[in-house]
Amino acid sequence: MKKIAALVATLAALLALAGCGEDEPANDDTRTASNGDEFNDADVAFATDMIQHHAQALSMVDLTLGRPIDPEVETLAEDIRAAQAPEIEQMTDWLTAWDEPVPATMRDHANAHGEGDMDMGDMPGMMSAEDMAALEGTPDAEFQERFLQMMIEHHEGAVEMAKTEQSDGRFGPAIELAEAIESSQTDEIALMQDLLGS
């Protein structure tokens, strides 16, 4: 009986190992670019979506120009610009190296006012064309509060996307960028909540 029990346990362990071995390749969508980058579909989705997400944040920042806003909010807006513009370039370079299409953004000329053929999908925190138009048309007295509220929601979406990349991504620099985005934008959310007095 002991020999049979041991045999059954061994067979069960072997089957479990065989099952793991079969699952791994089926879920492994890692590809290697001509420059040697190893990346997967999650990395492509992260870069593609975050380029558009960042571009919208920069368009929101543009709307602060010429507005009577507090110095702290002005500094925050410029910090967002300084961080996210180079990140867009970095992610564009990745997609180009991976022979993946670089998405159109609302900062492209044809899309500057919500026109053109852009697929925003279901990206967390993205504002609609109507939201952006409403922010642009907000009176000065109410602009700062509305800007902060919308940017908090926008940042929360970016943090969610960054967490997904950290769990599903394969490309080391993309995972590192996702970690940096989660950290910096979480801090900025806390700052904006303080500025709103909430």
Q: Cβ distance 114 to 137 under 8 Å?
A: no
**Which has more confidence, 110 or 7?**
7
DSSP conformation letters of 7-48: HHHHHHHHHHHHHHHHHHHHH---EE-TTS-EE-HHHHHHHH
Q: Cβ distance 123 to 164 under 8 Å?
A: no
Q: Is the pLDDT of residue 187 over 60?
A: yes
Could you say which architecture CATH assigns to the domain 31-196?
Up-down Bundle (1.20)
Model confidence, pTM: 0.80
Segment 61-79, tens digit of pLDDT: 999 999 999 999 999 999 9
DSSP conformation letters of 128-140: PHHHHHHHHTS-H
Segment 78-97, tens digit of pLDDT: 999 999 999 999 999 999 99
